[in-house]
Amino acid sequence: MADLTLDIARKILDAAFAKSTELKLKPLVVTILDARGVLKVAAAQDGTSLMRAEIAHGKAYGALAMGMGSRALFQRAQEQAYFIDAVNTIAKGALVPVPGGVLIMDGTTLLGAVGVSGDTSDNDEACAVAGIQSAGLKANAG
């Protein structure tokens, strides 16, 4: 697979929401970007709070922009806060360096990223990983 198709993105989205339902999480927003950073699909469950779409996008965008899952960005932010702050300034505030942004890999080929927001960061990440794995792809959470 060379590109992240809309059909695959929808499968990831549906499986991420299914995992959320299984875990009985708070309402989520799931955003899926292709390797170029272009939006493939985004959806919000009923009852999400304000800013969830922007946060989900920022998690996926940050993972793509830095080439690492947002869990690694979170760790880097703790160790090198000035660096992550500088990168986020360059990115015009679009980077959200907390778990929940997961790279979509097909072997060693980067296909895109999933960003999830609405519950705890760990639960958001678990839904992103479940979605990616349901499509037979590899998740890199960082």
C-beta of residue 32 within 8 angstroms of C-beta of residue 103: no
Of the pLDDT bands very low, low, confident and very high (cuts 50, 70, 90), residue 83 is very high
In the numeric block, which tokens belong to residue 100? 């929940």
Q: Which of 65, 73, 82, 70 is nearest to 115 (CA)?
A: 70
**pLDDT of residue 112 exceeding 80:** yes
Contact 118, 11 (CB under 8 A): no
Structure tokens at 65: 């922009």
pLDDT tier, 1 (very low <50, low <70, confident <90, very high otherwise): low
Contacts of 40 by beta carbon, 8 Å cutoff, 6+ apart: 4, 6, 9, 32, 33, 34, 112
Q: What's the pLDDT band for 127 if we cut at 50, 70, 90? A: very high
How far is it, in rounded angstroms, from Cα 130 to Cα 138? 10
Q: CA-to-CA distance for 35 and 61, rounded, in angstroms? A: 10
Read off the tokens for 27.
Answer: 């309402």
User: What domains can be seen in the chain, in order of their start residue?
Assistant: 6-140 (3.30.450.150)
Tens digit of pLDDT for each residue in 21-74?
999 999 999 999 999 999 999 999 999 999 999 999 999 999 999 999 999 999
